[in-house]
Structure formats: C-alpha cells, structure tokens
Amino acid sequence: MMDSRTIKEKAFLITIFILTLLGVTPVFYVLASVFYKGIEAFARRGLGILIKINGGILPALVGSFVLSILSTIIGVVLAFVAGLFVAEFPNSWVSKATRVASRSLLEVPTVLLGMLVYIILVVPTGHFSLLAGALALALVMLPYVMVHVEQALESVPQLYKEAGYSIGMSRAQVLFGVSVGIAKRGIASGVLMGFAKAMGETAPLLFTIGAARSSLPCSILSPGDAVPLMIFQYAQMPQEYYHDLAWAGSLVLVIAFLVVFFVVRRLVKEVRY
Amino acid sequence: MKGDKLLYYSLLPFAAVVIAAFILLFAVISYTSAPAIKEYGWRLFTSSAWSPSETGPKSSKYGLLAPLYGTLVSSIIAVILALPVTISTVLVIEEYAPPQTRDLIGSLIEIMAGLPTIVYGLWGLEVLAPILKVHVYSPLHQLLGFIPLFSCRPFSGYNILTAGILLAIMVLPYMVAVARDAYRSIPMTYKEAALAIGANRYEYAKIMMGMIKPGLIASALLGFGRAAGETVAVALVIGNVPLISSCLFKPGYTISSLIANQFSMAPLYPYMMNVLFTGGLILLIIGVAANSVAVIMISRSRLR
C-alpha cells in the first residue's frame, strides 16, 4: 500500500507533466495548421498569387520587405547607440531613465505606438505612408534590440577591456574596437530578433500604412500594405478566396520567422568567451 | 578623461531619444484623450453605449465600460489558465526533464513567443474557435449549464472565453520566461536544505514555489499586461459586441479590439478619435502599472 504522501507525489508529478504537455501542444497545432492550410491555399490558387498584384499578395510582400528593412535601420541605430550608452555609463541618471523608458516601452501595447505615430506623422503630413509604419515598428523593436545589445556588452569580460586600456586605448576605442567586436554575435542576434518582431507586428500598422493593396508602393512616402495587416483584414472577409490568401500570407510569415529563429539559434550557440 | 566626456556626449542624444519617445507617447495619448474626458466625463467609464453620430458631440453616445470589462475578464481568464501551466513547465524544465527534452521544450517556448500574433489570430478564428464550440462549449453548457458562467447557449465559438484561452496560449511563453528566471535565482543551498529534511518531490516543489512567490506574481502581472494590450488576435475571436454578461459564452469587446475596429471610422465622427485615445490611455496605464509592480516584485524575489 502506498501512503498518502506517495500518492500525492505521484498525482502531482502526473499533473505537472500533463500541464506542460498541454502548454506546448498549441505551438505544434498552430504550426501544423499554418503549413497545412498554407500549402492547401497555394495548391488551390497557384504559386502565382505570390507575384500577383490584384488578388495576390505581392503588394503585401513588398510592403513588409520595405517596412522591415526601414524599421530595422531606424530602430537598430537608435537601439544600438542607446544600448552602448546604457552599458558603458550604467551609473549616470540618463542611463537609468533610458532603462526605465525602454523597459516600459517593452510593456506598452503595440497598438499605442501606432496611435502615437498617427498623431505625430500621419495627421501632419495628411496621408498614410510606409515611413510612418516603419517608424511605429522601429519603436516596437527598439526595446528588444536594446536589451540584447546591453546584455551582449555586459557579458564581455572586464579582462579584455583592461587589456585594451593597458595598451593605451581610449574608452571609445575600447568600446568600439574591443567590446563591440567581442559582443557582435550577441548584438547581431538581437538585431535579427528585432527584425523578426517588426516583420510580424500588425497593430502598429493599422493606422499608419493605409493598407493600399491594389498597387505597389512607389516610394516610402506613399501608402502601402504589409503581410500581417493583409491577413488581419482578409481573415474578416466572407469569401473563401481571401481566407486562402490569409493562410498563404501566414505560411510566408511563419517560414520567414523560423528562418530568422534558427539563424539566431546558431549565432547564440557559438558565443563562447 | 576628456575622451570619456566626448564619448558620453556623443552617445547621449540617442539615449535621450528613447526617453523622449516614451514621454511623447504619454503626452500625445493624454493630450488627445483630454477633449473626450472633458466632454463626456465619467459617463465614458460607466456606460457601454456606442452610438456615434456625425451631427455633434451631444447626440453621440460613447461608453468604454463593456470593452474595459472585456479586457479585464479575458486577461484574467488568460492568467488563470496560464499560471498552473507556467509553474508546471518551469518545474519540468528545471528539475525533471533530461537535458535534451529541456532544450526542446525551451526552443518550443521560444518559437511560441516569437510567432507573429496575427498567426495566432487567424488560427484562433479558423481552427480553435470552431473546435472549442463543438467539443468544449456545447458539452460544458449541457453538463454545467446551472453555473452562471456557462448558462447561456454558445451560439458561436467567438466569445470572451475563446479570447481568454487564445491569450493564455500567447502569454504563456512570457510568463514561463519570468518564472524561470525567478526559479534559477534560488540558491543551491536552499534546494539542498529542502531535500535534506526529506521532502519528496511534491513537498520540494511546494517549498520552491513558496520561495519564488514574488516572481510568480510578477509573471502573472506581466502576462496580464501583455494580454490586456493584445490587439489583432483578440479582435478576430472575441466577437466584437459591447456586452457585459456573467456568461463566458457571450461575445464581448476589448479596448484594444475596439480601437482596431473603430479607428478607420473615427475621423468621420466628432470626438470618436478622442474617445479611442482615452481607451488607449487606459491601456497605457494598465501596461505601465502592471510592469512597475512586476519590476518591484522581481527585485524582491532576488534571493541571492
């Protein structure tokens, strides 16, 4: 006979294993659905929807591409230098305030960043634009990249920096020549994570890019479309055809995310000091 | 030293931009919501009426109560569902799983955290909600219909409970990350002490969870904040009806899904934009408050 203590322990173990399994099941289910329905959509509508403008997803693909590049440039420059500052001068009050601001931005609902850009850029210029969307996305990725940059720089051993100082390098030389060099993989993975984040966000684009999907954007100042926004709006349409396009878009988005994820994985795994 | 100052001042502007962005966010959202609060006052938060009119502010009615209710209820459901799973996952990863399984679960959770939210939304709309309706909600209503929570007939899968379940899935990886950090901060000596007094695995886990209680509270708060701010995924599954009901099978609305759905029409109606920004202000306050308390909890949970 088992005593009540042992029974309790067994019941507890079974419960937590079941709950853990339950917790990770959705990710398989979501991925399986996206691959199944996405491939089905491509099979039904043809691969041509990738390069079709009207009734295809080309404008969204182009828009997403432009948006992720542009927002990465804006966001990464800002996050990289701000991250350098915070890691290099951790005791300055500006650093402390910057840290608080970036941690808070991390928890701010992303839809609010779209609303901010709507007021400061879309309303004054009078029209939606890819640039406005990129600015909103840059604000979304900023805190993510900053955290990665800070952590990567903080993990650089003091010994290496001292070696730099001992041969007469200035603080700036040590920072850019030694620390950034050693931390570059960590920084690169942060940049890629930010890129992935910007690529998949929908809410900041609702009020900034204008969902122009009947033509290709001619410049970054003209309205455009993005894959996540297209999925959101097509999912609410009654026609089967648009649902297929939404699943096809999801498949593209998920594959792009998985590629970035595994690249980051490799980068991080090889970081050994 | 001179070079130090130069470096300091050349990097400083970028850090200042980050601070400015956050202050600007607060300022713009508060400033834009002020006219609505002035015009409608407390009625904004105590009524659920939503009938915009082009003619003027007097003839239109705006109330954020139902969306506020929906935001709170769906986020609370998400945290209640996700917390036990969070605790189990942390224990399994940190204590019981062999290294390879541990890495696998860790990777899966990271993929879960990184998947675009719109993908969860589409999946919730087309896969999860229909399944829940047929296999969970209908049986639940038939068996436990006497409980007010399940008393109404589930006409579709698009309701507050579905939003809560989808949000639970989406916030789980964040909650696991926070709780896992807290768990790792438990010093080895405490763990050994618990084992030395003969605790079995259940008692051991109970003691450990007691030690990281502030970390678990932080995890729940951050999960709640995330859930409250989630926009597009919720907008696709909650049904988007401004309704307050004790029954979880009724459709609802959340502040963020209200913003997502109404923003495009807002410029046509006087004050509607301002009302939506008031909703945004509420979200901002919820987000910052949840984050601040969580940060305090995390600093308190540092055992080392």
Q: Tell me whether residue B152 is in a domain.
A: yes
Q: Tell me whether residue B216 is in a domain.
A: yes
Q: How many CA atoms lie within 13 A of B301 on its CB side?
A: 27
* pLDDT number for residue B280: 93
Q: Tell me whether residue B18 is in a domain.
A: no
Q: Do B3 and A253 touch (CB under 8 A)?
A: no
Statement: residue B192 has pLDDT above 50: yes
Tokens of residue A104, six digits: 């808070």
Tell me the domain boundaries of chain A.
Answer: 51-267
* pLDDT number for residue A126: 87
* pLDDT number for residue B234: 94
Q: Closest by alpha carbon to B227, among B23, B110, B91, B83?
A: B83
Q: How far apart are CA A144 and CA A141, in angstroms?
A: 5
DSSP structural state of residue B58? T
Which residues contact residue A95 at a Cβ distance below 8 angstroms, ignoring those fewer than 6 apart? Answer: A85, A86, A89, B15
Q: Tell me the pLDDT tens digit for each residue of B49-91.
A: 777 777 766 677 788 888 999 999 999 999 999 999 999 999 9
Q: Count of A–B CB contacts within 8 Å?
A: 250
Q: Tell me the pLDDT tens digit for each residue of B118-171.
A: 999 999 999 999 999 888 888 888 888 888 888 888 888 899 999 999 999 999
Q: Closest by alpha carbon to B121, among B254, B25, B219?
A: B254
Tokens of residue B142, six digits: 């038939």
Statement: residue B93 has pLDDT above 80: yes
Q: Tell me whether residue B36 is in a domain.
A: no
Mutate to test the interface with A, among B122, B178, B180, B297 (most CBs of A within 10 A): B122
CA A82, A85, A91, A93 torsion: positive or negative? Answer: negative
Q: Tell me whether residue B60 is in a domain.
A: no
Chain B residue numbers with beta carbons less than 8 Å from the beta carbon of A30 are 115, 119-120, 123
Strand, coil or helix: what is B252? strand
* Single-letter residue type at B75: S
Q: Which H or E run includes B50?
A: strand B50-51
Are B232 and B117 a contacting pair, CB within 8 Å?
yes
Q: Tell me whether residue B118 is in a domain.
A: yes
Angle between helices B65-91 and A4-45 (to 10 degrees): 120
Q: Tell me the pLDDT tens digit for each residue of B221-279.
A: 999 999 999 999 999 999 888 888 888 888 999 999 999 988 888 777 878 888 899 99
Strand, coil or helix: what is A1? coil
What interface predicted TM-score (ipTM) does this complex get? 0.91
Q: How far apart are CA B40 and CA B63, in angstroms?
A: 9
How close B89 comes to chain A (CA, Å)?
Answer: 5
A74 touches chain B (CB under 8 A): no
To 5 degrees, how large is the angle CA B261–CA A131–CA B116? 55
Chain B residue numbers with beta carbons less than 8 Å from the beta carbon of A245 are none
Chain A residue numbers with beta carbons less than 8 Å from the beta carbon of B283 are 109, 111-112
Chain A residue numbers with beta carbons less than 8 Å from the beta carbon of B208 are none
A193 touches chain B (CB under 8 A): yes
Nearest residue of A to residue B22, measured between CA atoms: A101
CATH code assigned at B156: 1.10.3720.10
A120 touches chain B (CB under 8 A): yes
Q: What domain range includes position B117?
A: 67-303
Q: Tell me whether residue B221 is in a domain.
A: yes
CATH superfamily of A51-267: MetI-like (1.10.3720.10)
Q: Which of B22, B126, B230 sits opposite A101 (nearest CB)?
A: B22
Into how many domains does chain B fold?
A: 1
Q: Tell me whether residue B28 is in a domain.
A: no
Q: Do B200 and A9 touch (CB under 8 A)?
A: yes
* pLDDT number for residue A1: 58
- Phi, psi for B9 (deg, rounded to 5): -75, -20
* Single-letter residue type at A253: L
Q: Which of B15, B24, B123 sits opposite A85 (nearest CB)?
A: B15
- Per-run averaged pLDDT (10 residues), chain A, 273 residues: 83 93 94 95 85 83 91 90 88 87 88 93 90 93 89 85 86 84 84 86 90 79 89 91 93 94 79 46
The gap between the terminal CA atoms of chain A, to the nearest Å, is 54
Q: How far apart are CA B19 and CA B12, in angstroms?
A: 11
DSSP calls for A101-156: HHHHHHHS-HHHHHHHHIIIIIHHHSS--HHHHHHHHHHHHHHHHHHHHHHHHHTS
Q: Do B230 and A200 touch (CB under 8 A)?
A: no
Nearest 10 degrees: Cα torsion B243, B246, B250, B251: 40
CA B249: distance to chain centroid? 20
Which residues contact residue B206 at a Cβ distance below 8 angstroms, ignoring those fewer than 6 apart? Answer: none
Q: Do A112 and B284 touch (CB under 8 A)?
A: yes
DSSP structural state of residue B223? H
Show the DSSP H helices in chain A as ranges. Answer: 4-45, 58-88, 93-107, 110-117, 123-125, 130-154, 158-166, 171-173, 180-182, 184-200, 227-235, 240-269
* pLDDT number for residue A192: 87
The gap between the terminal CA atoms of chain B, to the nearest Å, is 35
Q: How far apart are CA A71 and CA A199, in angstroms?
A: 9
